[in-house]
């Protein structure tokens, strides 16, 4: 009788340990995946949106990433990104006006224990943002030249990413906070005093994995749903705005759904409020709801 009880006890302990190992393996994120989450996704919007954005056929973000590292388990890695944002306007000849070119290099350092489910990653970024135009910044009547006016700035971004895993919800969670700094000597002179050079970004992301009871060993799972909430507060003195002016706040919420019948893309809806991020259009205040498709090649 005692032998049977001991045998049952050993089986139960082995089962629990095996299940715990599987959960822990799922919960462990590599630096590669953490960087991929932070670098963002490519997307294309549909031609119907709600709000005050100029009529568009689409907006597209093309953001390929090139990783630089010694090996897959390195604590330190760099990511080169040649990001381009383009808008095709719903006008005669369907022009693509002043695309945003944002080449950048980001550095990531993973702190703490590599096998921990909760991780803290430090990162820094150096980036350039321009529109590839060389016309005068202002028109003859003193307005900003949206058609061919030169826009250019360079900046650094410093921050951290805190990642964790919820076993009950089978979801990965990320919290990001960073400061974006545009030194005046790195910025076009015409932007001084009217383009924010100090910004505080805060982001929350969650990726919901499917509730599979018996995933295969080493099986990579794709998130069916994700949510991304972002805020940016502009902290410096520009446009003579009061420090508590609501226009200093940019906010975005993206809800993403990845249906089973699609491989690497899914559908998203975005709610955006704040300053236009499309280069020389920065003085426009946007309130819009947009729909589109987004790449999602991330596997956990």
What pLDDT, on the 0 to 100 scale, is given for residue 22? 44
Coil/strand/helix, residue 243: coil
CB 118 within 8 A of CB 111: no
CATH superfamily, with its number, for domain 29-212+227-295: Phospholipase A1 (2.40.230.10)
pLDDT in tens, 249-258: 999 999 999 9
Query: What pTM did the predictor assign?
Result: 0.87
In 10 A of CB 276, how many CB atoms?
Answer: 16
- Given a cut of 90, is residue 172 above it in pLDDT? yes
Residue 145 has pLDDT above 70, yes or no: yes
Q: What are the sequence ranges of the domains in the chain?
A: 29-212+227-295
Alpha-helical runs (H) found in the chain = 2-27, 31-39
Any idea which of 92-106, 167-181, 203-217 has the lowest mean pLDDT?
A: 203-217
The contacts of residue 290 (CB under 8 Å, 6+ apart) are 45, 46, 49, 50, 51, 53, 59, 269, 270, 272
As given in the structure block, the two tokens for residue 127 are: 């980036």
Percent of the chain with pLDDT over 90: 72
- Can you tell me the mean pLDDT for 34-60? 94
Kind of pairing between the strands at 100-110 and 152-166: unpaired
pLDDT tier at 215, thresholds 50, 70, 90: low
């Amino acid at each position: 009788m005692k032998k049977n009880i001991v045998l049952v006890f050993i089986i139960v302990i082995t089962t629990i340990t095996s299940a715990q190992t599987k959960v822990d393996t799922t919960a462990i994120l590599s630096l590669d995946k953490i960087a991929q989450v932070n670098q963002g996704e490519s997307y294309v919007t549909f031609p119907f949106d709600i709000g005050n954005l100029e009529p568009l056929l689409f907006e597209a973000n093309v953001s390929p990433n090139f990783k630089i590292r010694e090996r897959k388990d390195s604590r330190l890695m760099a990511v080169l990104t040649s990001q381009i944002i383009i808008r095709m306007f719903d006008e005669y000849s369907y022009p693509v006006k002043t695309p945003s070119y944002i080449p950048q290099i980001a550095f990531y350092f993973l702190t703490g224990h590599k096998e921990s489910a909760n991780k803290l990653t430090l990162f820094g970024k150096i980036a350039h943002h321009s529109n590839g135009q060389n016309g005068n910044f202002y028109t003859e009547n003193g307005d900003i030249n949206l058609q061919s006016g030169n826009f250019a700035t360079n900046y650094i971004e410093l921050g951290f990413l805190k990642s964790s895993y919820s076993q009950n919800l089978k979801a990965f969670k990320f919290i990001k906070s960073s400061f974006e700094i545009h030194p005046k000597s790195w910025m076009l002179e015409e932007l001084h005093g009217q383009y924010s050079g100090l910004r505080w970004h805060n982001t929350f992301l969650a990726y919901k994995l499917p509730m599979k009871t018996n995933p295969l060993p080493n099986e990579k799972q794709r998130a069916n749903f994700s949510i991304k909430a972002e805020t940016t507060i502009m902290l410096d003195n520009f446009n003579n705005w009061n420090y508590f002016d609501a226009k200093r706040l940019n906010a975005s919420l993206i809800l993403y759904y990845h249906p089973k019948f699609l491989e690497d893309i899914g559908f998203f809806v975005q709610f955006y409020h704040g300053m236009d991020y499309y280069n020389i259009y920065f003085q426009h205040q946007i309130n819009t709801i947009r729909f589109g498709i987004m790449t999602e090649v991330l596997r956990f």
